[in-house]
Amino acid sequence: MRNVYLVTFFIAVLIVSVFGLRGRHFTQPPIEVFPEWAFPGMKHQPKYKPQSESKFFADGRTDRPIPANTVSRTELRTDDELYLGKAADGSWLRGFPKSITVDAQLMARGHERFSIYCAPCHGALGDGNGITKQYGMGATPTYHDTRLREIAEGEIFNTITHGKTNMLPYADKVTPHDRWAIILYVRSLQRAQNGTVADVPADHRSELGLK
Ligand code: HEC
């Protein structure tokens, strides 16, 4: 009989210790059962916060200046077509960089990335009627006006990279390769709105009810 009390007691303690303090906020650091000085581990690690003082460096700064004559590897970009959308003469590149393979795979990638990053404003059809319009963002242009249909691919690349007035830059979210994929998809959206029968391969025209 005594065991029944004992077991009930332990089950009660167990339930309270597992569930009892859930959701509580503690203002004090937790008690350390195994203190760091006795059991060195990785619980406490020295770290510097940005802009804070350093006692280690002679100039007292935590943020270290870049050593002279260093070039960040990510900045070492020699392919202007790929990374700037510029042709050899400095004008906006028309068409796609030589290092980009334009194929169905690139188109599929562009479709996917466009749906994530551009469609919320520019709309799935590129007509500027994305979901943000319903929330008051009215300034998104359609891709189907003459100017944007004729604009160089390189200039679209530049818009994605640096943004334009109300449009934020996407350089930190969309890689250069993906930017070209998106441009390819934008071009296909433009073609889709302005297609003619001549765009349909001859052996598929009958599917449209044409001869
Ligand atoms: C937050 C909404 C928003 C998103 C997301 C967005 N855009 Fe835009 N975009 C705009 C607005 C607003 C403008 C008009 C900028 C202006 O000219 O004032 C614009 C303009 C443009 C233009 C025309 C630039 C020109 O030369 O006039 C292109 C091309 C374009 N966007 C492509 C894209 C692509 C590609 C993406 C996805 C990577 C994208 N946008 C994502 C809002 C957006």
Residue 9 lies in a domain: no
pLDDT of residue 123: 96
- Looking up residue 141, the CATH number of its domain turns out to be 1.10.760.10
**Residue 29 or residue 129, greater confidence:** 129
Ligand 1 site-directed mutation target among 92, 109, 140, most atoms within 8 Å of CB: 140
* Separation CA 193–CA 144 (nearest Å): 7
pLDDT of residue 31: 82
pLDDT score, position 75: 66
Give me the pLDDT at residue 106, please: 98
In-domain check, residue 12: no
Residues 181 and 113: their CA atoms lie apart, in Å, by 8
Determine what percent of the chain is predicted with pLDDT higher than 90.
60
Count up the domains in the chain and report the number: 1
Q: Which atom of ligand 1 is nearest to the CA of 179?
A: 38
Residue 45 lies in a domain: no
pTM, entire model: 0.71
For 178, residues 6+ apart whose C-beta sits below 8 A from its C-beta are 109, 110, 113
| Ligand 1 mean position, distance from CA 104 (Å) | 24
Domain span at 150? 101-195
What is the pLDDT averaged over residues 31-52?
83
Q: What is the mean pLDDT of the chain?
A: 90
The answer as to whether 63 is a domain residue is: no
Residue 161 confidence (pLDDT) above 70: yes
pLDDT tens per residue across span 102-155: 999 999 999 999 999 999 999 999 999 999 999 988 889 999 999 999 999 999
Residue 142 lies in a domain: yes
Q: Classify residue 117: in a domain, yes or no.
A: yes
pLDDT value for 76: 73
**So what's the pLDDT on residue 211?**
60
- Residue 138 in domain: yes
Q: Looking at the domain assignment, is residue 70 inside a domain?
A: no
